[in-house]
Structure 1
């Protein structure tokens, strides 16, 4: 984790599932390649860890796999259950247990919300059969660094930067590979890449992104100051994240495939 702000507990993040689907559907649409990397086979049992509103879980199921969705947010669980037509588990990704092992664990844009990664990796290993695969994409090192920098600077101008809490864990490829290998996995593949992403459904630009994903960055800001702080975030982010009349998020993504080794006594 490259940022020095103190981390927030994952439960602090408040989700609006309807708004998430409406304004931030790109999170799932840009992850189709991760589903291809998973390559689910008919009859396989796949756990979608941090399934959100269930869009990718539904795609995995459409390819013939049996999917169990799980998320730590009740609103996301309810939305995913409606989409999938099956039960979705409300569970903390740091410490979850299944009735039996699965063939694969899949995750998109969720692992970076789980700020105790060793606990997550151990729980995933426990959930997999020997030889099962862990396929995921998460924010990598320096993910949304421009947005974080703009928020920090806007808060500092109001003397509020000391209360900023980081809700994410953004590892480097080497850091995460070492974590996986230390906890019973063989790393078969890693990819780390920049993916500037247009915020096409965010009329207030980066401010809309911060309001959805970065609530813990600004939850200490007095209500009467919040509009001014968010306006200033946009002003500070604009030189690098506003181009040709369009706003962008400066995403950097880490994808990997890891295989669970045999458990030792």
Structure 2
């Protein structure tokens, strides 16, 4: 989703550890963030779920992608830390549990762990060390961890515009959002230090159309930052951020594109 937030982005994926103040409105996410699950076909193909496998979907959000994986015949367990997202996932008749991604309770229960657009909501190297240790512990010997998350350079223009716009309000947008967008070299080290063997890992630029526009994206995926402002200041900050971004992310026909960069990897225990 972009979204284990501080738990992740609903859909897949939503939240997993709520320290940054980001919250998830299932209705808004369904309208403004459904592309997160829709654009996950490549990482789903990399997972190659098989009937009968036990798979953990880490940061399952509202379960849109979890439902797709379950259609393969695999046995899915979804995990998220957002009660509202989990309620939406249960409406899809999915088996989901509420856990913080940094404190997974499983021990050699899964053939694979999958995550889409959720891990970047976990703050810092120490947080990711905890997540990876839990994932490694959750997998059976030979199990695989297949995931996609925001990578180095992700939404760079958007982050820069927010930083500039919010500075007069004495808000450090980067520190407040607490997102983690690592390079492939860094994340390879974290995986290998945990005991994983990395089969593949790469950064993938993926300009992403925003059908509902930039303001809707900001209100959905950066509310943890914007909620620090009064209603009047928030409206002003949104207008100023959008004005900064228009020359680079809005085309002549008025269509918005976010400057996404994804980190995709496949690692085995």
Which residue of structure 2 lines up, in the alignment, with residue 38 of structure 1?
A: 47
Q: Counterparts of 1:47 and 1:179 in 2: how far apart (Å)?
A: 20
Residues 1:108 and 1:162: Cα distance change in structure 2 (over 3 Å): closer
Q: CA deviation at 1:148?
A: 0.7
Which residue of structure 2 lines up, in the alignment, with residue 161 of structure 1?
A: 171
Q: CA deviation at 1:100?
A: 5.1
Q: 250-259 vs 16-25, which deviates more? A: 16-25
Structure 1's unaligned 5+ residue stretches are 1-6, 261-265
Give the paired residue count. Answer: 249
Q: Counterparts of 1:51 and 1:170 in 2: how far apart (Å)?
A: 19
Q: 38-47 vs 94-103, which deviates more? A: 94-103
Which residue of structure 1 lines up, in the alignment, with residue 210 of structure 2?
A: 199
Question: For each residue in 1:88-143, what CA deviation from the matched residue of structure 2 results, as whole angstroms up to 9, or x when unmatched?
Answer: 10110011113651000000000001111100000000100011000000000111
Residues 1:13 and 1:56: Cα distance change in structure 2 (over 3 Å): same
Q: Counterparts of 1:30 and 1:107 in 2: how far apart (Å)?
A: 13
SS at match of 1:168: coil
Which residue of structure 2 lines up, in the alignment, with residue 3 of structure 1?
A: none
TM-score, normalisation: structure 1 = 0.90
What is the RMSD computed on CA atoms of the aligned residues? 1.7
- Asked whether the equivalents of residues 32 and 216 of structure 2 are also in contact (C-alpha less than 8 Å), the reply is no
Which residue of structure 1 lines up, in the alignment, with residue 197 of structure 2?
A: 186
Which residue of structure 1 lines up, in the alignment, with residue 222 of structure 2?
A: 214
Structure 1 residue 109 and structure 2 residue 120: aligned?
A: no
Q: Counterparts of 1:243 and 1:223 in 2: how far apart (Å)?
A: 29
Equivalent of residue 27 in structure 1, options 36, 41, 51: 36
Equivalent of residue 262 in structure 2, options 253, 258, 262: 253
Structure 1 residue 92 and structure 2 residue 100: aligned?
A: yes
Q: 145-154 vs 41-50, which deviates more? A: 145-154
Which residue of structure 2 lines up, in the alignment, with residue 231 of structure 1?
A: 239
Where has structure 1 moved over 6 Å in runs of 4 or more? none
Q: Which has the larger radius of gyration?
A: 1
Structure 1 residue 48 and structure 2 residue 57: aligned?
A: yes
Q: Counterparts of 1:190 and 1:162 in 2: how far apart (Å)?
A: 31
- Asked whether the equivalents of residues 144 and 249 of structure 1 are also in contact (C-alpha less than 8 Å), the reply is yes
Q: Counterparts of 2:223 and 2:135 in 1: how far apart (Å)?
A: 28
SS at match of 2:215: helix
Q: CA deviation at 1:87?
A: 2.9
Q: Counterparts of 1:251 and 1:79 in 2: how far apart (Å)?
A: 26
Equivalent of residue 145 in structure 1, options 156, 163, 184: 156
Question: For each residue in 1:27-85, what CA deviation from the matched residue of structure 2 results, as whole angstroms up to 9, or x when unmatched?
Answer: 000001111100011100000000011111111111110000110100111111111x1
Q: Counterparts of 2:68 and 2:178 in 1: how far apart (Å)?
A: 28
- Asked whether the equivalents of residues 95 and 119 of structure 1 are also in contact (C-alpha less than 8 Å), the reply is yes
Q: Counterparts of 1:86 and 1:26 in 2: how far apart (Å)?
A: 21
